[in-house]
C-alpha cells in the first residue's frame, strides 16, 4: 500500500512475534486473527488438556505452564518478542505477567485483559487494556435492541460511534442538516450512501443509515431526534 | 490475493500429499544427475555412499520432524533457527539455505539440459546449441511462471511425483532381472575412503524433505501427519535410490556409468529396456523421466529459494522489499527475481560437479545448525509442547551433527573457498543492512502507546 517502500515500511512490513498468556477461547481467537495476518504467536497455557487441543489446532507454538511464573514466561522469550498480551480470565495474573514481561524485556509492548471495570492506574503500567466484557456488552446491546441503531466502536472516553437508521417518526426525517439542530456533541460522519462525509447539505432520509459520533450524555437526545 | 501468512480453514493436503511434496523434491533430479558422477568417484561403492547418506539424513529428518510439529511457522529450517538463535546465526542459516536452493536450481537446470539433449538424441534429433542455453531457458521459464502466479506452480505435485516414481519403477522392474551382482566385485574398487567424497557430492539429493515444512499450514491433522510425512518421505526416497543405483551399476557397470556423467541412468536403461509402443526405447522413457524430474525439482527449488528470501525480508534480515508481494501479480516477485539472477549466473559460470558439491556443503552446514537448534530448544524451552519427539535424544541430533560435519570435511577445498566467499559476502550484506536499520522497531512503537486501532476495512490489504 505504501508508495515509498524504502523509507517508512521497515516497521510495518515485519511480522510481529506475539506472546499470548492464556489459551482459552479469547487466546485462541486472538491467535487465529494474528496468524491470519501473518504474525507469529506463542501461547502459554497452564492446563495440560487445553494444551493438547491447542497443539492440534496448529496455530501457534504452545508452552505448557503458568505464564505468571517467571521460569515459564522466560521460555516464551519476551526479549525476542514485540508484544506480550496477558489474556487469562484472572486480572491479577494478567497484571503480573505484564509486569514480569516488562522487567525481562523493557522494550516489549504489553497488553492486558481486565475482567472488572478497569482501574485507571493500569494505563501507567501497561501499554494496552482489553475489556472483553465491555465489547461483549456492546455486541449484546446491538442484538437486543435490534435494527435501527448499532454501536460500531467505543472510541476513547465517552464518545461512541453508532450507525442509526432514520425512522418515519423521527423529528429530523427528510430534513437537511442545516435545517435541524442536533445537540452539541453530535457529528454525522458518513451520509447514507457511505461515500460522503456529512455536511450542511446532507439530507436525513427515512430508511437510510448514518454513521454518527455521539457523546454519551447526549446520546439519548440524538436517538430521540433520529428515531422518534 | 494469495498470501503466505493466510491460514485457510480447510486443510487440503493429506498425509499422502504431504509425503509426496517431500519425495517430489528429493526423487528425480539428484538421482538422475548425480549417480554417474558419484560412480565416477567411488566405483560400485557409490551404492554404499547412497545408503550411508540415507542414514545421515534420517538423523536430521527426525530433528526436522520434532521442530515442524512444535513450531507452526512458514519458512522451514530458517524459521526454526530464527526461533532459537540470535539474529546473526539465523541470518547465516537463511543465507546458506537460500544459496542451497539457488545452487540446486542451477544443478537441476544443467541436468535438465543434458538429459533433454540426450532425449532428442535417442529419437535421432540433434538439438542445436550448447546445453547451457537450454538450462538458462528452463530457469527463465520457471521463474517467469512462478513470478506471475503461485497458483499455477503449486498444483499437481502429487501427480507429477507419482509419474516420476512410476518411471523409476519401470526402470527397476526391468533392471532387476538384468542386473548382475558381479559388477559389484570388487565393491571398493577406488578405495573405501572414496565413499566419503561421493557422499558429499550426492548429499544434495537427500535434501528437499524440508519443503514439507514450508506447506505445514495446509496439512490435515498437522501435529501427527507432518512428522510422519517427513520420515516417510525420507524412507521411501532412500529405498528408491538404492534400487535405482543397484540396477544402474548392475547393468551398465561402474566404468561405463561413471563415464556417462549426468545422463548415466538413461544410458543404463538403453542396455536392458525393451521397446515400448509410441514412446520408443526404454532409454527414451528414462530420459523423459529425467527431463520431467529435473524440471519439477527445478520448480520446487525456485519456490523454496524465493520463500527463504521472502521470510528473511519479513524478518528484516534482508531488504524489506524482498518480503513483499507484488501489487499486481500477488507473488513475492522481488524474492523470486533475486533468486533467479543467482541461479542464472551459477548456470553459466560454475561447472556441474562444483555446483553439486557446493549445494551439498551448504545443506550439510544448514542441517548442522538445525540439529543444534533442536538441542538448544530442548534446554531453553523444556515446557514447549512437542507432539513428536526425537527418539534416543540427545544421541540422535549429536550423531546428525557429527556425520554432517564429517561429510563436509571431505568436500574439496575449492568448494569450501567458494562457500566461505559466499558467507563473507553475506557477512558484508548483514553488517551493511543492520547498520542501515539501527533504529529498532520497538522503540519507535513504544512512543505511541495510545495509537488508535486500525479501522476494520483497512485490515485486509496489509501490504
pLDDT of B258-270, one tens digit each?
A: 888 878 888 888 8
Cβ of A14 within 8 Å of Cβ of B221? The answer is no
Residue of B nearest to A82 (CA): B442
ipTM of predicted assembly, 2 dp: 0.75
Give a three-class secondary structure readout of B297-318: HHHHHHHHHHHHHHHHHHCCCC
* Residues A127 and A27 both lie in one domain: yes
Please choose, from the candidates A54, A20, A24, A40, the residue with its C-alpha nearest in 3D space to the C-alpha of residue B7.
A40
Nearest of B73, B64, B387, B380 to residue A51 by alpha carbon: B387
B454 pLDDT exceeds 90? no
* B155 domain residue, yes or no: yes
Beta partners for A186?
A214
The CATH number assigned to the domain holding B121 equals 1.20.1740.10
Within 187-216 of B, beta carbons closer than 8 Å to A belong to: 216
Nearest to B299 by CA among B149, B171, B163: B149
Taking CA atoms, B397 is separated from B55, B250, B404, in Å, by 12, 35, 10
Residue B448 lies in a domain: no
Residues A115 and A168 in one domain: no
Q: How many domains does chain B have?
A: 1
Is residue A208 domain-shared with residue A156, that is, in the same domain? yes
The number of distinct structural domains making up chain A is 2
Residue ranges of chain A whose CB lies within 8 Å of a chain B CB: 1-2, 5-6, 9-15, 32, 35-40, 51-52, 54-56, 58-65, 72, 75-76, 82, 107-109, 127-128, 155-156
Pick the residue from chain B with its C-alpha nearest to A83.
B442
Distance (Å, whole) CA B175 – CA A26? 60
**Alpha-carbon torsion angle B247, B253, B254, B256, nearest 10:** -120
Say what the pLDDT of residue B151 is. 54
pLDDT, tens digit (0-9, with 9 covering 90-100), for A150-164 = 777 666 567 778 888
CB B316 within 8 A of CB A10: yes
* Domain stops at, among A133, A154, A169: A133
Any A CB within 8 A of B6 CB: yes
Domain of A162, CATH number, reads 3.30.70.1450
Distances in Å between the Cα of B309 and the Cα atoms of B100, B121, B323 are 12, 38, 7
Q: Are residues A39 and A98 in the same domain?
A: yes
Q: Among residues B6, B26, B441, which one has the least CA distance to residue B207?
A: B26
Average pLDDT across chain A, whole number: 83
Domain assignment present for residue A89? The answer is yes
SS3 A104: helix
Q: Is the pLDDT of residue B462 over 60?
A: no
Q: Name the residue among A13, A75, A107 with its Cβ closest to that of B324.
A: A13
Statement: residue B388 has pLDDT above 80: yes
Residue B188: the pLDDT is 86
Q: Residue A26, Cα to own-chain centre: how many angstroms?
A: 13
- Enumerate residues 6+ apart whose C-beta is below 8 A from B380: A75, B84
Residue of higher predicted confidence among B281 and A50: A50
Q: Which residue of B has its CA nearest to A109?
A: B446
Cα→Cα distances B340→B78, B115, B351, Å: 20, 22, 18
The parent domain of residue B103 ranges over 15-434
Q: Do B4 and A38 touch (CB under 8 A)?
A: yes
What is the C-alpha separation between A72 and B209, in angstroms, rounded? Answer: 33
Q: State the Cα–Cα distance between residues B401 and A146, nearest whole angstrom.
A: 65
Could you give the 3-state DSSP secondary structure of residue A79?
helix
The count of residues in chain A is 228
Percentage of chain B beyond pLDDT 90 is 18
Last residue of a domain, one of A98, A133, A168: A133
- B381 part of contact set with chain A, CB < 8 Å: yes
CA distances for B82 relative to A105, B109, B150, B390, angstroms: 18, 30, 25, 20
pLDDT at A190 > cutoff 60: yes
3-state secondary structure B95-162: HHHHHHHHHHHHHHHHHHHHHHHHHHHHCCCCCCCCHHHHHHHHHHHHHHHHHHCHHHHHCCHHHHHH
Residues A39 and A128 in one domain: yes
Taking Cα atoms as reference points, which of A127, A198, A194, A216 lies closest to residue B449? A127
Give the alpha-carbon dihedral of B87, B93, B98, B102, to 10 degrees.
150
A85 CB neighbour count, 10 Å cutoff:
29
Model pLDDT, residue B118: 82
Pick the residue of B381, B433, B438, B455 with the most A CBs within 10 A to test the interface with A by mutation: B381
Q: Which residue of B72, B320, B441 is in closest CB contact with A60?
A: B72
Upstream peptide bond of B401 is cis (omega within 30 degrees of 0): no
* Chain A residues with beta carbon closer than 8 angstroms to that of B440: 107
Taking contacts as CB-CB distances below 8 angstroms, the residues of chain A near B381 are 63, 75-76
The boundaries of the domain holding residue A154 are 144-227
> Is A36 within the bounds of a domain?
yes
- CA dist., res. B282 & res. A157, Å (int): 79
Domain boundary among A104, A133, A162: A133
Q: Which carries the bigger pLDDT value, residue B447 or residue B122?
A: B122
Helices (H) and strands (E) in chain A, counts: 9, 10
pLDDT band at residue A9 under the 50/70/90 scheme: very low
Amino acid at each position: 500500500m505504501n508508495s515509498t517502500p524504502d523509507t517508512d515500511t521497515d516497521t510495518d512490513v515485519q511480522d510481529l512475534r506475539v506472546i499470548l498468556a492464556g489459551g482459552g477461547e479469547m487466546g485462541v481467537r486472538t491467535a487465529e486473527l494474528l496468524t491470519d495476518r501473518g504474525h507469529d504467536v506463542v501461547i502459554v497455557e497452564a492446563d495440560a488438556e487445553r494444551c493438547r487441543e491447542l497443539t492440534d489446532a496448529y496455530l501457534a507454538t504452545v508452552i505448557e505452564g503458568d505464564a505468571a511464573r517467571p521460569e515459564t514466561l522466560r521460555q516464551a522469550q519476551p526479549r525476542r518478542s514485540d508484544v506480550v498480551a496477558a489474556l487469562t480470565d484472572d486480572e491479577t495474573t494478567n497484571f503480573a505477567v505484564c509486569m514480569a514481561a516488562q522487567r525481562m524485556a523493557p522494550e516489549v509492548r504489553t497488553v492486558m485483559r481486565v475482567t472488572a471495570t478497569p482501574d485507571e492506574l493500569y494505563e501507567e503500567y501497561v501499554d494496552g487494556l482489553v475489556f472483553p466484557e465491555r465489547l461483549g456488552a456492546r455486541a449484546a446491546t446491538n442484538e437486543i435492541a435490534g435494527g435501527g441503531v448499532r454501536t460500531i466502536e467505543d472510541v476513547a472516553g465517552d464518545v461512541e460511534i453508532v450507525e442509526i437508521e432514520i425512522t418515519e417518526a423521527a423529528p429530523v426525517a427528510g430534513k437537511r442538516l442545516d435545517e435541524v439542530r442536533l445537540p452539541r456533541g453530535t457529528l454525522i460522519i458518513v451520509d447514507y450512501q457511505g461515500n460522503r462525509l456529512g455536511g450542511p447539505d446532507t439530507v436525513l432520509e427515512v430508511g437510510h443509515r448514518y454513521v454518527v459520533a455521539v457523546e454519551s450524555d447526549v446520546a439519548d437526545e440524538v436517538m430521540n431526534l433520529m428515531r422518534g | 490475493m494469495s498470501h503466505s501468512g493466510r491460514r485457510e480453514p480447510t486443510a487440503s493436503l493429506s498425509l499422502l500429499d504431504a509425503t509426496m511434496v517431500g519425495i517430489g523434491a528429493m526423487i528425480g533430479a539428484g538421482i538422475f544427475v548425480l549417480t554417474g558422477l558419484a560412480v565416477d568417484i567411488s566405483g560400485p561403492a557409490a551404492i554404499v555412499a547412497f545408503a550411508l547418506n540415507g542414514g545421515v539424513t534420517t538423523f536430521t529428518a527426525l530433528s526436522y520432524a520434532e521442530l515442524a510439529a512444535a513450531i507452526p511457522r512458514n519458512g522451514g529450517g530458517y524459521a526454526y533457527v530464527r526461533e532459537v538463535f540470535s539474529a546473526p546465526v539465523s541470518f547465516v542459516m537463511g543465507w546458506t539455505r537460500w544459496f542451497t536452493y539457488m545452487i540446486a536450481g542451477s544443478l537441476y537446470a544443467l541436468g535438465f539440459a543434458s538429459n533433454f539433449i540426450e532425449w532428442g538424441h535417442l529419437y535421432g534429433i540433434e538439438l542445436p546449441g550448447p546445453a547451457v542455453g537450454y538450462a538458462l531457458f528452463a530457469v527463465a521459464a520457471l521463474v517467469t511462471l512462478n513470478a506471475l502466479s503461485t497458483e499455477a506452480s503449486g498444483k499437481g505435485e502429487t501427480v507429477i511425483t507419482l509419474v516420476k516414481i512410476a518411471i523409476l519403477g519401470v526402470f527397476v522392474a526391468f533392471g532387476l532381472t538384468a542386473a548382475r551382482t558381479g559388477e559389484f566385485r570388487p565393491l571398493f574398487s577406488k578405495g573405501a575412503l572414496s565413499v566419503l567424497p561421493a557422499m558429499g557430492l550426492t548429499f544434495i539429493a537427500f535434501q528437499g524433505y524440508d519443503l514439507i515444512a514450508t506447506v505445514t499450514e495446509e496439512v490435515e491433522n498437522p501435529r501427527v501427519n507432518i512428522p510422519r510425512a517427513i520420515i516417510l518421505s525420507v524412507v521411501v526416497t532412500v529405498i528408491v535410490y538404492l534400487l535405482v543405483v543397484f540396477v544402474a551399476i548392475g547393468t551398465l557397470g561402474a566404468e561405463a556409468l561413471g563415464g556417462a556423467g549426468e545422463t548415466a541412468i538413461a544410458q543404463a536403461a538403453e542396455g536392458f529396456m525393451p521397446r515400448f509402443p509410441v514412446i520408443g526405447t526404454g532409454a527414451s522413457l528414462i530420459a523423459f523421466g529425467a527431463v520431467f524430474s529435473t524440471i519439477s525439482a527445478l520448480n520446487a527449488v525456485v519456490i523454496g529459494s524465493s520463500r527463504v528470501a521472502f521470510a528473511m525480508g519479513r524478518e528484516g534480515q534482508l531488504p524489506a522489499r524482498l518480503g513483499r508481494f507484488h501489487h499486481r501479480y500477488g507473488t513475492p516477485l522481488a524474492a523470486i527475481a533475486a533468486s533467479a539472477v543467482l541461479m542464472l549466473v551459477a548456470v553459466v559460470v560454475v561447472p556441474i560437479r562444483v555446483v553439486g558439491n557446493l549445494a551439498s556443503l551448504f545443506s550439510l552446514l544448514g542441517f548442522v545448525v538445525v540439529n543444534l537448534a533442536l538441542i538448544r530448544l530442548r534446554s531453553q524451552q523444556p515446557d514447549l509442547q512437542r507432539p513428536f519427539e526425537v527418539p534416543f535424544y540427545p544421541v540422535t541430533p549429536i550423531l546428525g551433527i557429527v556425520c554432517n560435519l564429517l561429510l563436509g570435511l571431505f568436500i574439496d577445498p575449492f568448494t569450501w573457498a567458494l562457500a566461505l566467499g559466499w558467507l563473507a559476502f553475506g557477512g558484508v550484506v548483514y553488517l551493511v543492512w543492520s547498520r542501515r536499520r539501527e533504529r529498532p522497531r520497538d522503540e519507535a512503537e513504544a512512543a505511541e502507546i495510545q495509537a488508535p486501532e486500525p479501522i476494520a476495512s483497512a485490515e485486509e490489504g496489509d501490504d
